Amino acid sequence: MIVRVPGDKSVSQRALLLAALAEGESRLRGVLPSADPRSTAGALRAMGAVIPPLPDDGSEIRVVGRGLRGLEAPRSPLDLGNSGTGTRLLLGVLAGQPFESVVDGDASLRSRPMARVTDPLGAMGARFEWLGEVGRLPVRVRGGALKGLEYDLPVASAQVKSALLLAGVVGGVPVGLTEPGASRDHTERMLRGCGVSVLTHVRGPGRRVELRDPPARLRPLDLDVPGDLSSAAFVVLAGLLGVTPGPVTVEGVGLNPTRDGMLDLFRRMGGRLTVEATGDAGGEPVGRITIEGGTLRPIEVDEADVTAAVDEIPAVAVAAVRAPGVTRIRGAGELRVKETDRIRAVAVNLKALGVDVVETDDGLDVTGTDAPLQGRVDAFDDHRIAMVFGVLGAAPGNRIEVEGRESVEVSFPGFWSLLERLRHG
Ligand code: S3P
């Protein structure tokens, strides 16, 4: 069976932001028509960017940008919904805009740490006033003239790195960053496509990223958004757990090497995966992944694995349920500050299904079993938690009810019908 997955969420969000900041009209195809990019688009429209509604079929949209410092002060708080990426990247943009704005989001987003971006943005000259709890949304931003930044990121985070690079671009100031691991580099690639010089050097397991001479304007984008590798992970998981009767191929999926760690992890678990590069879209490698099942075995997952597959660790933990022995996941503390505490969510749900799982500060030990799994689990308002347990529930012999199925709308509209197709061919 051949399937496609919707557009990449990370690339879609960045494309909307950079198109809004470019001078002239950008053309974007395959933008993910889901809640997160819609929140980001809504915030950009509230500041004067001309962005049409995101079409459900991913057809081309034309975005008229406002230039680097041409956004207008929004009249009401910017509501970023559930989108951590939209929020953090936008905070970088707002830091360099000469106006005041308020950024807010849903209950999940209000619980997520924002000081990781506002501290370094504050060092560049932006001012932030917490309107609720310190370090959490809502926040009032007073942007303006910025100064350059030299900064060591305490955690490998593409969102923090991107926010700081965007602040440098908008503010027209140099930024030098060192990160302890190699986080996804979509922003660097897309900025290069807009005519910005961003240099990257390997530094041990991490990276040194430099924005030296930010240009006065950004070239508009003409870009095809690849399918989302993180969404493809659920199809791969379905193949590994025997949801699909035969081999399944995901076509047109982004294969960015800074975030394809799940391919390695699933292969180490015994998954039979074939990956074929077919070309390039918007500066990102694209290809197809074929899954032909496999006999699963337990693995040890460390911090570097987590950085390269940060959103796929719940899928690895769920695959581990069918790997006889103990899969140990460590160095995954960042999962506790995602859309929900994903370590806790996976542990609570697996326990509810009778799986032997131990939660540690920064990871999980999952003991594989071949028992049929039945029961009720909670999505914890987190799209990826809903989807991994949806796939586990579709595996032969299991009957799992997922509470909060609608949260998949954040990143994967059509997920439940695709799962039915995978199941029944
Ligand atoms: C993202 C970066 C990751 C990832 C998130 C998307 C991005 O977060 O978990 O889903 O688009 O930059 P961190 O940068 O916080 O690790």
pLDDT digits (tens, 9 = 90+) for 271-326: 999 999 999 998 999 999 999 998 999 999 999 999 999 999 999 999 999 999 99
The answer, yes or no, to whether any atom of ligand 1 lies below 6 A from the CB of 12, is no
Does this model's pTM top 0.85? yes
The answer, yes or no, to whether any atom of ligand 1 lies below 6 A from the CB of 157, is yes
User: What was the pLDDT predicted at 318?
Assistant: 98
d(CA 145, CA 126) in angstroms, rounded, equals 8
Residues contacting 377, CB < 8 A, separation 6+: 348, 349, 352, 353, 389, 400, 401, 402, 403
Which residue's CA is the closest to the ligand 1 atom numbered 15? Answer: 157
* Probe residue for ligand 1, chosen from 12, 17, 18, 85 as the CB with the greatest number of ligand atoms within 8 Å: 85
The answer, yes or no, to whether any atom of ligand 1 lies below 6 A from the CB of 95, is no
Query: How far does the centroid of ligand 1 lie from the alpha carbon of residue 51, in Å?
Result: 23
User: Which band of pLDDT confidence, cut at 50, 70 and 90, is reported for residue 50?
Assistant: very high
The answer, yes or no, to whether any atom of ligand 1 lies below 6 A from the CB of 10, is yes
The answer, yes or no, to whether any atom of ligand 1 lies below 6 A from the CB of 310, is yes
Sequence spans of domains, the chain: 2-224, 229-424
Residue 245 has pLDDT above 90, yes or no: no
Nearest of 256, 264, 189 to residue 229 by alpha carbon: 256
pLDDT digits (tens, 9 = 90+) for 369-391: 999 999 999 999 999 999 999 99
Query: How far does the centroid of ligand 1 lie from the alpha carbon of residue 265, in Å?
Result: 19
User: What was the pLDDT predicted at 354?
Assistant: 98
* Burial (CB count <10 Å: 0-12, 13-18, 19+), residue 294: middle
Q: What angle do CA 223, 407, 309 make, to 5 degrees?
A: 60
Joined together, the tokens standing for residue 370 give 């071949």
pLDDT digits (tens, 9 = 90+) for 77-103: 999 999 999 999 999 999 999 999 999
CATH class of 2-224: alpha beta
Nearest of 415, 424, 350, 361 to residue 384 by alpha carbon: 415
Residue 157 has pLDDT above 90, yes or no: yes
Average pLDDT over residues 200-217: 96
Query: How far does the centroid of ligand 1 lie from the alpha carbon of residue 341, in Å?
Result: 14
The answer, yes or no, to whether any atom of ligand 1 lies below 6 A from the CB of 159, is yes
For residue 66, how many C-alpha atoms fall within 13 Å in the half-sphere facing its CB? 19
In this chain, the answer to whether the domains covering 2-224 and 229-424 adopt an identical fold is yes
User: Which band of pLDDT confidence, cut at 50, 70 and 90, is reported for residue 363?
Assistant: very high
Average pLDDT over residues 68-79: 97
Catalytic positions, written as ranges: 311
Residues contacting 190, CB < 8 A, separation 6+: 11, 14, 15, 18, 221, 223, 282, 283
Architecture of domain 229-424: Alpha-beta prism (3.65)
Q: What angle do CA 200, 36, 113 make, to 5 degrees?
A: 65
Q: What is the DSSP letter of 270?
A: T
The answer, yes or no, to whether any atom of ligand 1 lies below 6 A from the CB of 349, is no
Number of neighbouring beta carbons within 10 Å of residue 156: 24
Which residue's CA is the closest to the ligand 1 atom numbered 5? Answer: 85
Average pLDDT over residues 220-240: 98
d(CA 76, CA 81) in angstroms, rounded, equals 14
Task: Determine the length of the chain.
Answer: 425
User: What was the pLDDT predicted at 425?
Assistant: 80
Query: How far does the centroid of ligand 1 lie from the alpha carbon of residue 324, in Å?
Result: 31
Average of per-residue pLDDT values in the chain: 97
Query: How far does the centroid of ligand 1 lie from the alpha carbon of residue 202, in Å?
Result: 20
- Amino acid sitting at position 363: G
Q: H or E stretch including 92?
A: helix 84-95
